[in-house]
Structure 1
Amino acid sequence: MAEEKQGARHGRKLAICRKAQRRHSHFYERCSHWSFNRSGEIEPIRWHREHFVLAATALLITLLSGFIMPAWASAMRPAPAAEVHSLLPLALPKMAPISATAAVDDWQVVRVRPGQTLSDIFNARGLGMADLQKVMDAAGSAKSALHNIRPGQEFDFLIGSDGSLNGFRFDQDQASRAIVRFDGAQPTVSFQQRDMDLREQVAHGVIRSSLYAAGDQAGMDAAMVGKLADLFKYDVDFVQDLRLGDSFTVIYNDIYRDGMRYGEGDILAAEFINQGKRYTAYRFKKADGDYGWFSEDGRPIQKSFLRIPVDFTRISSTFSVARLHPILGRMRAHKGVDYAAPSGTPIHAAGDGVIKYHGWEHGYGNFVVIQHNNTISTAYGHMSRFVKGQHVGEHVRQGEVIGYVGMTGLATGPHLHYEFRVNGAQRNPQTVTLPQPQPLPTAQLARFKAQVVKPQLARLTELDVRIKLARTSAPTNNDN
């Protein structure tokens, strides 16, 4: 019975399908090839208008979803809270008012050339003597700095648009500058302190050709090399005694002004090795407030006597007990040393003393004798002329000029005949033992050794060790 009912239902379904096929036969004819269950060989896919319609519809739906979904998500997001900004007061430093005068100042710097005078410099700027006199009158006590100018010195001019002098600046001394202004109702003068600074330098040199060449290679300028030579001139004859391989080490100051190097300062400590012998010098402030240079044992570097009292070119005749006189033509003693030098070269007193003789002496020409103490005197002959104002009985200081080289008396050329006398008897000035100056007093000597010699000697020794190590570690070229 159940099987009959199931068969009846199946029959009805088939009848309904046949009826639908007959009614929609035109659709089934066009779409019958869409079936996935068709038997037989599968034909290649062919795109028809229906295919394109369906693909375009799917693509449109996909694009719409891409735009609509993010917009919907943004619309659903809560609105962000507005940021709150607040202004805080900030205290700024007050600006100093800018001077209108300083903003337009155009100082013209002029450097003095050799041979120029102050009036030459003013004339070169289109100014006259009346302008120079105005500066002198307005400068007051500072005008003394304008009396003697030197090459390299700087002067600053402030010139107006009409060519008139509105200002003038110059160094009153090393550490201050005077400023004279004429652009107000009355001339004014003001003073500006310069920023002075001492910078310590250390140099070491070895003599290969000359002292100045060694100093230049060590980074020292000519003026500082001159100071070094002047310091040791009492012990070393830099014309005759210098040898290749001699060396020096020096600690000194350079002066800087307003951040720029202004010039050389003083030597603080120095060591000079000449022919294996060591000489030292240390700068020390004495009890009287003056500075001096002393050896390690506290004796002044400045000896009681100059070994050579003139800058000479050569020794034309040495000390001798028997010499053929160039003019007299016979053998006689030459009890001095002749230092040949150009006529007019200054002659200096070998030491402090009193003039004992001043005038003409047969054979010696213009002649001066200085008595230094009870036993020692020095004599100077063949001078071309004396220094005006000096006379017998006048006290002279070591290094003071007492006359000028000439060839008066029995002389064949310009030179200084120099004698060193002990108890009236002439001694060889080149070999005589000069008296040693007295050392510092006991209390000062102790302070000198503790405060100066000990620290500076340690620095000099350390530098010498570093130099020796640098030499030993330096690579050498071996010739094979």
Structure 2
Amino acid sequence: MTSLFKKAIRAGREPLQSATQMPRKHLAAIGFVLLFLAVVAPFTPSGDVSANRDAELPLPQPTELASDALPAATEALTDNVDEQEPEVAQPPSEITWAFYQVRPGDSLSKLMTRAGFSERDAYIAGKTPEGSLTQLFPGQTLGFATKPSGELTEIQHKLSALEAMVYHHEDGKFRVERQIREPEVRIVEKSGEITSSLFLAGQAAGLSDNLIMELANLFGGVIDFVLDPREGDTLHVVYETLYLDDQYFSDGNIIAAAFTNKGETFTAYRYTDASGRLGYFNERGESMRKAFLMAPLDFTRISSNFNPRRVHPVYKTSRPHRGTDYAAPKGTPVFAAGDGRVIESDYNRANGNYVFIQHGEKYVTKYLHLNKRHVKKNQRVSQSQIIGTVGSTGTATGPHLHYEFLVNGVHQNPRTIHKKLPKAKSLAATEMPRFKAQTQIQQEALARLISEQQATQLAKLNTP
């Protein structure tokens, strides 16, 4: 067929010969070629397409693909579509937060109106069965989250820096979630030397006033921080500091502490026993919580000590002074020296406002010249509970607390009676191995701090 086609082309290029002069087989080949061209020409690119649109030609039959070719064909089709029309990701809806501080007299309805929400939104939020939206207090913060359309999606009630209640708006009601933030805990070690008072030494060491008061309360059963401290005494404390978002938030718990007074060192370690009870104990496992405080108030100075022959400052006569006077500013908190029951809470001309507390069967403590009384007769009180404030009521020359201590009805010197009182409770012998294991790091830290302080003091003595 190919050779005949080539011969026909060559024959077309030569001068036309008469039919009678050409062999019969050549004439047949030329006829075949002409017939082929007549059929194919309309479909060639070089043909006139518009002239052949109405030609009634048989449609080609669809080619049947093999089954294993379908996935490849489908994938190729998908790829082409993706290349032509890429999908455009829709931007997520943006949530906007607005925070409002609760002011005196504010309610949920007022705050939501201020924030631009409808009364219906406030009604639905206020009907939430759980949570705290109906208990708002000045200083707290309320936050509202809205979509771009203005739809309320979430309410955050910030109770404190560490706690918040979150209300998620779903299907026309609110779902409540409580969120608690855990601050980062960092351990700090500080030491100080007494020059005049515990407070000044603590402040010089970089301790906060609250932490200094905690130290005073911790050792309040063994040290009188007015009369006992001497120049050169030292204090050491290992405690937690709390951080939020890498910013200082507050002091945490005292982990261990030591106070060296006139050469004797007192230690205290924070420990939770096997039954879950928390307390502070010395290295022998003895509780630092004694039956009575050495001093029953946040004192500043003592103006008069126990003196049976003391001359009364008002009546100018020799009258026994059966207690200790703690001079302090008016309003200074007065603490219960120990656990007990209030047996008297009243006023008279001599004592002014006074409170008497019974501790067990043998002991009674008395607190005179109070400005205000915070407890009533027959009320149960615990050690360090505030029972009143310092004043100058009754026969008094100035604001102070007159404190008395009685044993079986007999007045005793509050400064020395502690030596005669029963010893503090100790950890059980079976608890001591656990106590020593858990406080080993704290004991090592205190020992290091004490050693460093002693070396510093020695270097000062040897400096010419």
Instruction: Report TM bin, short chain.
Output: 0.5 to 0.7
The answer to whether the aligner puts 1:312 opposite 2:315 as a matched pair is no
Show CA shifts across 1:331-376 (max 9, x none).
2111112223344443321111223334345632333322213322
Q: Name the SS of the counterpart of 1:298 in structure 2.
A: coil
- SS of 1:370's equivalent in the other structure is strand
Match of 2:380 in 1: 395
| Partner Cα separation in structure 2 for residue 133 and residue 343 of structure 1 | 47
The CA deviation at 1:149 is 6.3
1:461 to 441, 447, 456: 447
Q: CA deviation at 1:410?
A: 2.4
Separation (CA, whole Å) in 2 of partners of 1:385 and 1:470: 47
Question: What is the distance in 2 between the residues matched to 1:236 and 1:136?
Answer: 55
Please list the CA deviations of residues 38-71 of structure 1 after superposition, one character each: whole Å capped at 9, or x if unmatched. Answer: xxxxxxxxxxxxxxxxxxxxxxxxxxxxxxxxxx
1:325 alignment partner, SS class: coil
Provide Cα deviations, 1:296-323, integer angstroms capped at 9, x if missing partner. Answer: 1211112111122123344343321122
- Which amino acid in structure 1 is aligned with residue 96 of structure 2? D
Q: What do residues 203-256 of structure 1 show as CA deviations (whole Å, max 9, x unaligned)?
A: 223345654554455454444333333322333333444444332222222234
Q: Is the CA contact (8 Å cut-off) linking 1:195 and 1:259 kept in structure 2?
A: no
In structure 2, the CA distance between the partners of 1:163 and 1:429, relative to structure 1 (3 Å rule), is farther
Q: Which residue of 2 aligns with 1:54?
A: none
Q: Find the aligned partners of 1:323 and 1:465 in 2 and give their Cα distance.
A: 44
Which of 92, 95, 99 in structure 2 is aligned with 1:100?
Answer: 92
Report the CA distance shift for 1:136/1:233 in structure 2 as closer, same or farther (over 3 A). farther
Query: What are the residue-to-residue correspondences of 1:386-465 with 2, within 5 Å?
Result: 386-387=373-374, 390-392=376-378, 394-434=379-419, 435=421, 436-452=423-439, 454-465=440-451
DSSP-derived class of the 1:323 partner: coil
- Could you tell me how far 1:472 is from its partner in structure 2? 7.8
**Is contact 1:353-1:370 (8 Å) kept?**
yes
Give the Cα separation in 2 of the matches to 1:131 and 1:290: 49
| Residue in 1 that maps onto 2:211 | 224
Contact 1:145 1:173 in 2 (8 A): no
Gaps of 5+ in 1: 1-96
Change (3 A) 1:222 1:321: closer
Query: Could you tell me which residue of structure 2 aligns to residue 37 of structure 1?
Result: none
Q: Which amino acid aligns with 1:391?
A: K
Query: RMSD in angstroms over aligned alpha carbons?
Result: 4.2
Partner in structure 1 of residue 126 of structure 2: 137
Q: What's the CA shift for 1:98?
A: 10
Q: Which moved more, 1:168-177 or 1:435-444?
A: 168-177
1:269 aligned to 2:269? no
Q: 1:279 aligns with which of 266, 280, 283?
A: 266
Superposed displacement of residue 133, structure 1? 6.9
* Pair 327,228 (structure 1): closer, same or farther in 2 beyond 3 Å: closer
Flag the 1:359–1:447 CA change in 2: closer, same or farther, 3 A.
Answer: same
The aligned runs of 1:194-209 (5 Å cut-off) are 194-208=181-195
- Cα pair distance change 1:366/1:231, threshold 3 Å: same
CA contact (8 A) 1:306 1:351 kept: yes
The residue matched to 2:298 in structure 1 has which SS?
A: coil
Cα distance in 1, alignment partners of residues 262 and 116 from structure 2? 59
Q: Name the CA distance, whole Å, in 2 between partners of 1:136 and 1:223.
A: 39
CA spacing shift, 1:292–1:386, aligned 2, 3 Å: same
Closer/same/farther in 2, CA of residues 234 and 159 from structure 1, 3 Å limit = farther
Matched residue, 1:380:
367
Shift of residue 460, structure 1, vs aligned partner: 2.1
Code of the residue aligned with 1:455 in structure 2: it is I
Equivalent AA in structure 1 for residue 355 of structure 2: V
CA drift at 1:141: 3.8
Please give the alpha-carbon distance, in whole angstroms, between the structure 2 residues aligned to 1:99 and 1:457.
58
Match of 1:302 among 289, 300, 303: 289
Change (3 A) 1:184 1:368: same
Aligned partners of 1:131 and 1:165 also within 8 Å: no
- CA offsets 1:254-308 (integer angstroms, 9 cap, x no match): 2344554432221111112233321111011124312111111211112111122
Match of 2:106 among 105, 119, 143: 119
Q: 1:98 to 1:169 in 2, by over 3 A?
A: farther
Per the alignment, do residues 445 and 171 of structure 1 end up closer, same or farther by CA in structure 2, a change over 3 Å counting?
Answer: farther
Task: Kindly indicate whether the alpha-carbon contact (under 8 Å) linking 1:407 and 1:413 is maintained by their aligned counterparts in 2.
Answer: yes
Shift of 1:120: 9.7
Q: Please report the TM-score for the alignment, with normalisation by the length of structure 2.
A: 0.66
Q: Is the 8 A contact 1:212 1:225 kept in 2?
A: yes
Cα distance in 2 for partners of 1:397, 1:461 equals: 33
- The amino acid across from 1:318 in the alignment is N
Unaligned 5+ segments in structure 2 are 1-88
Give runs of aligned pairs for residues 213-252 of structure 1, distance below 5 A: 214-215=201-202, 218-252=205-239
